[in-house]
Structure 1
């Protein structure tokens, strides 16, 4: 046990170090990555947005980031089949924690998400976001487009999320249509052949 540690999310000495926490214990960051707000030298930022006030049916997506972190604990130091590679050996990855949102003032939510996303993206790191209902994709797209220009968007969903909406409305079913109208996105066939555009994936 001399080479074993626990609570890797706060005790890790390196952003590429492997964790050895047991799956039933330890602080639950995403795949036991270090919890930090420091972005220097980081390749990938994992960030949670616990928001579901835009849902039209069943809420609960606010618990998504927490649940994903909990489920990821089993993969923290498991060489991934079939390549048997340590995903983080050459990719400095952190868990940036969650976006702080005012539960009593949803009108501020889009700008809060966009502002925090812009800060992460400005660092040059790749951003993996854990939601949250589908509305959170809209301010994330705005932050990406402000930095990179219009983006190609790949979305895996049972719905197209192109419902008509009113300007300023917070709705999980209309973000794709709104993003297209605001020219945040472009058709994939018009994306740069060199792949210079980021491709955020909405799930």
Structure 2
């Protein structure tokens, strides 16, 4: 195998050679919905570059072998420059053409479009949502479409089953009425402090209990991770999860009926030595490992 640094700058070094791949990786270079620091349009490129570090062996967490897993990097989705609503419509239209989609963001507003496309095939899904922010604000600074609002719209549109939705790592300032609106609909919220105190095994058990055996989507905002370990994001909040906790939780979600996922809000301009991009790439890698056979 070639050295990892010389692999093509695709996810895990894999080009889009297999149009029938079981898992399609796409980039969504969007940052029209951000409310603080911009720059997530560069996220997909950075995550792909960092992912090459993960292409030279099995996952020792379960000795999962990804080499024969059918995965293709299908490039970036097209967007409408300067028009968030039109970009979301384009994302939805493009996502409809794929099966099991793994999306690299881009800001979190893109998840609304991905869920709109997905649920036309599956019906309402369960949602595992890692984030520092609740993202159920009815608007963000007067804008109804923004990265603080995707799950308000997803719940209002019936894209997500609220009683099969769990949020992990929440810790940012928020209006109490937004929190109460969310929980009143049946959403389970585990703050970052609760996750620290309960530990990864208990958190994974809580996730499995909430989502059950139905179709489930994973949306991972990189700011769920503490900024000391993932500084490259637009709205950092202290007190977040550590990367070892994230890996320990995800590793214990084997058997959940996942139908798609995204990792969002990587902003390389604020990163240090690619550690945020590598964290995002490793989350995607761990997700794939849940679907890969284990070596005996």
TM-score when scaled to structure 2?
0.55
- Residues 162, 173 of structure 1: 8 Å contact kept: yes
- Over aligned residue pairs, what C-alpha RMSD do you find? 2.3
In the other structure, the counterpart of 1:94 is 72
What's the secondary structure of 1:134's corresponding residue?
Answer: coil
What's the secondary structure of 1:77's corresponding residue?
Answer: coil
1:112 pairs with one of 86, 90, 93: 90
Alignment CA distance shift 1:173-1:84 (3 Å): same
- Residues 50, 61 of structure 1: 8 Å contact kept: yes
- Residues 25, 104 of structure 2: 8 Å contact kept: yes
1:43 aligned to 2:19?
Answer: no
Q: Distance in 2 between matches of 1:157 and 1:55?
A: 15
1:175 aligned to 2:150?
Answer: yes
1:162 aligned to 2:180?
Answer: no
Q: Distance in 1 between matches of 2:85 and 2:129?
A: 25
- Residues 126, 214 of structure 2: 8 Å contact kept: no
Q: Distance in 2 between matches of 1:172 and 1:83?
A: 34
1:33 aligned to 2:51?
Answer: no
- Where structure 1 has 5 or more consecutive residues not aligned to the other structure, the ranges are 1-19
Which string of whole-angstrom CA distances, capped at 9 and with x for unpartnered residues, describes residues 58-79 of structure 1?
0111111111111111111222
1:130 aligned to 2:111?
Answer: no
What's the secondary structure of 1:153's corresponding residue?
Answer: strand
Which string of whole-angstrom CA distances, capped at 9 and with x for unpartnered residues, describes residues 62-104 of structure 1?
1111111111111112222244442132x21100111011224
In the other structure, the counterpart of 1:197 is 215
CA shift at 1:117, angstroms? 0.7
CA shift at 1:157, angstroms? 0.3
In the other structure, the counterpart of 2:189 is none
CA shift at 1:201, angstroms? 2.6
CA shift at 1:25, angstroms? 1.9
Q: Number of paired residues?
A: 176
Which string of whole-angstrom CA distances, capped at 9 and with x for unpartnered residues, describes residues 115-160 of structure 1?
1111113xxxx21111110000000010111110011111000010
Alignment CA distance shift 1:192-1:152 (3 Å): closer
What's the secondary structure of 2:87's corresponding residue?
Answer: helix
TM-score when scaled to structure 1?
0.78
